[in-house]
Amino acid sequence: MEHHVFAETAIPKAYGAYSHAVVAGDFVFVAGQTARDAVTGKVIDGDISAQTRRCIEIIGEILDELGLTLANVVRSTVYLARIDDFDAMNRVYAKAFPTPYPARSTPEVKLPFGALVGIEVTAFRGAPNKA
C-alpha cells in the first residue's frame, strides 16, 4: 500500500490525519475533498455548482499526479449538506465525468467548515469494465 505525498499544486493541504490518496494494487482511494482554496485552505465562496466544480478539480489534480483521469473513477460518494442541492450538483457532476458514469451514492451529511459538498472517489488503474 502506497500513501502519496503531493507537491505544492492546486491541491489543498490535508487539514486532518489522512492521506489525499492511497494506492492499493490497481485501486486508488481518494479521500473526500471539499471545495477548498489551495493557498488559504478555506472553503471557497460560491454556490453548490461552484463548490462541486472545485471538488472535482481537486480530485482531477490528485488523479493527474498519479497518472490517472476522471475516466478511471469507478466509484464515488458525493456528500451534500442539503439534499435539495442534488439537481444543481448533478448537472456539474454529469458534465465533468465521462460516461459510463461511476457508481455513486449521494447522502445528506453535515460537512466541515460550512462546505456545501464533499466528494470522494475510488479509481482503477486498469481499464474499468463499467456495466
Q: What is the pLDDT of residues 53-97, one digit of tens each?
A: 999 999 999 999 999 999 999 999 999 999 999 999 999 999 999
Binning pLDDT at 50, 70 and 90, where does residue 127 land? low
With b meaning 16 or more CB within 10 Å and e meaning fewer, what string describes 97-113?
Answer: beeeebeeebeeeebee
18 backbone dihedrals φ, ψ, rounded to 5° = -155, 160
Give 98 or 130, the one with higher predicted confidence: 98
Between CA 71 and CA 120 the distance in angstroms is 15
- Residue 48 reports pLDDT greater than 60: yes
Domains belonging to the chain, first-starting first, are 2-124 (3.30.1330.40)
pTM for the model stands at 0.90
Q: Measure the CA dihedral 35/41/46/51, to 10°.
A: 0
pLDDT, mean of residues 12-22: 83
